[in-house]
Structure formats: C-alpha cells, structure tokens
Amino acid sequence: MEIRPAVEADLSAAHAVFRRSIEDLYERHRFEPPRPPQDVFVRQHAHLLEHDADRFWVAAAEGRLVGFSAALVREDAWFLSALFVSPEHQAGGVGKELLARVWEGDSDVRHRLTIVDAIQPVSTGLYSRAGLLPVTPLMNLAGEPRAGQSHGLEPGPLDEAALAELDRVAYGFDRAPDHSFWRSEARGTLWKVAGEAVAYSYRWPGGRLGPVAGRTPAACGQALEAELERAGGRFVSLIVPASARPALAAALAAGLRYSGPPGLILSTDGAGPDAVIPYGYSLF
C-alpha cells in the first residue's frame, strides 16, 4: 500500500472511491446514497487541494487509488473534510493511516472538528478515539417551503469585510478562502437590519442552501427564513445542526421534512455551532 500526497489527476479516482464507499454504507442501511456528479466533486476537492495541499493524501494499491483523506485549516481551526476507503480495503488499517497523515503537523491548531454519518459507527469510533467527540446531530432537511416572514431583513451584495466579521462571530475563524469558492458557484446574499450586516446565505443551483451564518442564532434563523421565503415554494435542501435551534425551527415551520440519515458533528470542543448552517459535510 502506497500513501502519498494527492495531485489533481487523482480527483476523478477519488470520486469513484467516494461513490463506492458511500453507496456501500447507505445501501446496507436501506437509504438512498448521495450521488454528487463527478464535476461537482472534482471542483470542490480541487478547492481543498489548492488551499490545503499538504493535508490531502491518497492511498493506492497496485497503482489503483483505494482511499483518500483531506483536511483544511483556517487560522486555529482544523476540519476533517473527507476520509473514504474502498469497501474491500476498509479492514486493513488504511483509514487509520490516512487520518494520521492529515492530523499531523499543525501545531497551532486549537480546535478540531468533522462531520460523520450517524449510521457509520466505525468512523465515529475512529475519530472519537482521536479526541473528536459527538457534540450535536446534523439534520438533513428537504422540501418545498411554505411562504413565511423574513423579519424585515434587507438583502444586499456580499461584502468581504462584513463576511469576515460574521465568520469570526459565527464560526470563530475567517472563511475567506472558502468564500472565493462559494461565490464562484452559488448566489450569495448579505442580510442587514437598519444597515447593519447580521447574516449571510448562499443558494446553489438545484435549491441547495448553505452555508448560512449569523451574528446570533436568531439572525441565522431569520436569514434562513428569508431564503425559504425567496424560494417561492421551489424545492430546497439543507443540513442544520440541532444546536442551531432557531434555524432548525424555521426550517420545520416552513414545512421542510427530515430527509435521509442524520449526521453527527464531532469536535474537540464541547458545544455544537448555534448560528451556522454548514455548506456540506466536506467543507463545513
């Protein structure tokens, strides 16, 4: 088994590994697996490779890619974006070695977190033994939202200074590199009250929502309400931490339903995010 740094030419093979491993997991539990198109997967992981190349590793057996792991660091926060191994190689310690490669070498990191499917106890155990413990469920929701109130939020264009300030409050660290990716792929909105930026949100082609981040949990929930109102009854999907109670309440009040198995946010800290709706499992 060869474990080496990833290169861009590995990304299509990494997509195949992801599809095989996630389909094996979901189908064993009788859930419909996520099937992101290869081009979407490649663009997203090319972003990780661009900004965190030293935290992106692949495992190959006899010249064929059979696993990969990726992590990102933003200031003093570390996030495990991906760790997937082909089903036929999952019992050989490859996942443990891939985790070790992305974990090492970041002495300034103070906070570590990841997201895992709640139906995957093996991965949850691996990460928990490393110190990443469950802090909150992550609920998948989807549907055609009913019209509601947006609490007088004023939509406007994204502003880098406002985004940086909101990220420091909601996440605790700057997300500037990731906004460059989100803004290139999705429609972003800065939400204000009386001229003051209180939240931002992104809407993706196909109706995906996220990330949404607010100055307060209530502001995050209000920004989500505004996005759901703007959807005009068209299909949307998103993932909401149970710890972000105003946002979760807003999604359910709009008529969205739980969809698929929940996730778990694991962290070395003791509390789940309360003013954030993540982009997804891989980029938080």
Element (H, E) at 213: strand 209-214
98 and 149 in a common domain: no
- Give the CATH number of the domain where residue 64 resides: 3.40.630.30
At 228 the pLDDT is 95
Three-class secondary structure of residue 73 per DSSP: strand
Question: Element (H or E) spanning 90, and its range?
Answer: none
DSSP string, 82-147: EEEE-GGGTTTTHHHHHHHHHHTT-TT--EEEEEEETT-HHHHHHHHHTT-EEEEEEEEEEE-PPP
What does the pLDDT read at residue 180?
95
> pTM (2 decimals)?
0.94
> Residue 31 sits in which domain range?
2-109
What letter represents residue 128's amino acid? S
Asked whether residue 105 falls in the same domain as residue 7, the answer is yes
Give residue 227's identity as a one-letter amino acid code.
E
pLDDT of residue 137: 98
The pLDDT of residue 147 is 79
Q: Report the C-alpha gap between 44 and 72 in whole angstroms.
A: 12
Per the listing, tokens 């490779």 go with 49
Cα–Cα distance for residue pair 137/210, rounded to 1 Å: 17
Dihedral of CA atoms 235, 273, 77, 43 in degrees, nearest 10, equals 0
Residues 258 and 146 in one domain: yes
122 assigned to some structural domain: no
Structural domain contains residue 245: yes
Residue 218 falls inside a structural domain: yes
Q: What is the pLDDT of residue 150?
A: 63
| Residue 128 within a domain | no
List the chain residues with pLDDT less than 50: none
Are residue 88 and residue 149 in the same domain, yes or no? no
Give the count of domains, the chain.
Answer: 2
In a domain, 136, yes or no: no
- Do 104 and 145 fall within a single domain? no
Interval 51-78: pLDDT, tens: 999 999 999 999 999 999 999 999 999 9
Query: Do 145 and 256 reside in the same domain of the chain?
Result: yes
DSSP secondary structure code for residue 32 in this structure:
P
| Alpha carbon distance 199, 225 (integer Å) | 12
**Is there a domain that residue 135 lies in?**
no
Does any domain span residue 131?
no
pLDDT number for residue 106? 80
On whether residue 283 sits in a domain, the answer given is no
